[in-house]
Structure 1
Amino acid sequence: MLDCLLKLQDLRVYFSASSGLFGKKQYVKAVDGINLEIMAGEVLGLVGESGCGKSTLGRSIVRLVEAERDSKIFYRGDNILSYDKRQLKGYRKKAQMVFQDPFGSLNPRLTVGESIEEVLIVHEKATKSERKNKVIRLMDAVGLPAHFRSRYPHELSGGQRQRVVIARALAIDPEFLVCDEPVSALDVSIRAQIINLFEDLQRRFNLTYLFISHDMSVVRHISTRVAVMYLGKIVEIAETDRLFENPLHPYTDALLDSIPDISTEMRGRRKILEGDVPSPLSPPEGCRFHPRCFKAKEKCAVDEPPLIEKGDNHFVACHYA
């Protein structure tokens, strides 16, 4: 049985917004009361529409954004939200992040070698020659030739830049990576190469991933389990094959129907979501999905469904699952 590496307990991330009518303070509830466990060695896929809070959740795990006071993030049993600067620096040796836009996350004034070495300078006491050798080993691990060390980000393709970002994330030998839409900015022909690279690195370095994506096909390929997020809340969690073969939440069902399929038997049978995601400034009462749900009944507009197990580690938040 796998050990629990990371546990989120009532995780909330709110952002202050402009005052509403009569000066009332408002908050964007980007992440609103999430409880989730990530097991050591697994790939947990996190899916949902744009604006549902996926990236905010990932950033809160590495403390690039701060959670609300009563939230808890346990990493190997320790609440990282109570860490001071010294402890936080130690935690970031174990948990790193791969961002969506590799060009935006690289310093254009630093060469590839300098970008990777910078991490080693900040976190490790190593000699210059030791750092150089490690940079070369990391570049080899992600499929970049050593002579790319002297190149700048603008001289690389999108796939090459993402390999640099991955090498930089691996520089201090972490055990957990938050991958925030790491292939969405890449050409389709390059995506498969980077996904295969992630899989190879996970096996070689015994890594654990939180893999955030809106591409259901990519998530199905790489994930051990999948969590579905809607408007700041988790609505379904299950092992990958079980979720794709037997989705229990209407939102998950609609997401799976959005996967392109050229077969004629699917024509006219797809569940098309109507309307946009409601504003996180004023989420609906009861089940947050009920204004767009084809199964919604009167109860859904009043009572918020809890996330409960329906068997075989398949959890869903729906009154009529």
Structure 2
Amino acid sequence: MPYSLVTGGAGFIGAHVARSLLSSGKQVIVLDDLSGGFKENVPEKAIFIEGTILDHELLQKLFNEYEIEYVYHLAAYAAEGLSHFIKRFNYSNNLTGSVNLINESVKHKVKCFVFTSSIATYGALPPPMREDMTPEPEDPYGIAKLAVEMDLKVSHEMFGLDYVIFRPHNVYGEYQNLGDRYRNVVGIFMNQLMQGNPLTVFGDGSQTRAFTYVGDIAPIIANCVDHKECYGEVFNIGADKEYTVKELANAVIDAMGMKSELRFLDARNEVVHAHSDHSKIKKIFGEYSKTSLEEGLKGMVGWAKATGAKKSSKFENIEITEKLPPVWLED
């Protein structure tokens, strides 16, 4: 019996992709080490295996035991800003782990390897970012993502491994890890509100992003393998309308129905304006669903309130502390 393997399927986007695959009649295996995800996020009908893509012997056993037809690789530590300070951890998890997975996919003749890369590969290129631009990542997270993209290309050329690459951006929605203080700004804001704390904004909040509701992109990622014209291609995917971070903070306050203030922090080293062009993916999937920020936040609020506030845990293995934002060290 053929299976689709979803790495990171207990995490945020992976949990939604796993559900989309199951709803289309696929058999799903979820592999996740639960470092950033939660077992309750895994859909009941999926086979769940707790483990890490760093364990190449586990991957060998998994691919030998199951007939894995498609691989959806969403396992990553996606804290872009923090990646400057955890270089070894970043490259081990986001690059070496991915290579372990590519190796097994080549050896077991996987039909297609679907990889969620990131808009971070573009760095500070002028928006809207397009797939025909030469990537210039500005942080180790983006570098690792681009390296995996490049390895998939040469793996296809050498071994015939088909692949599809997506570059999503600023995705939010149900199953985000509300207790992660380093990534997923919408979840961070909601968690701060539920804790009665001010919303922390780096700089003056004028940075712009297009915030993408996860329910709009997960079905496309799941179903791309049925569109052979996607194979060997890179696609931006996400929302078209950009907002400032300050506008986002106020929108979250409105959606949560709570009062709060904004706490402005020193600016950090980050790309100021980032949003992408989606004309390429629309040529294949048409005008896919684009949930408005207001509607997307409304849907996430019910889940967040039911989940409740989470303690914001600190990353315990910071490798470089120079220039680390002080707020990331607060208890």
TM-score over 0.5 for the alignment? no
- If the length of structure 2 is used for normalisation, what is the TM-score? 0.28
Q: Quick check: which has more Rg, 1 or 2?
A: 1
Comparing both structures, which one devotes a greater share of its residues to strand? 1
| Alignment TM-score, normalising by the size of structure 1 | 0.29
- Return the structure number with greater helix share: 2
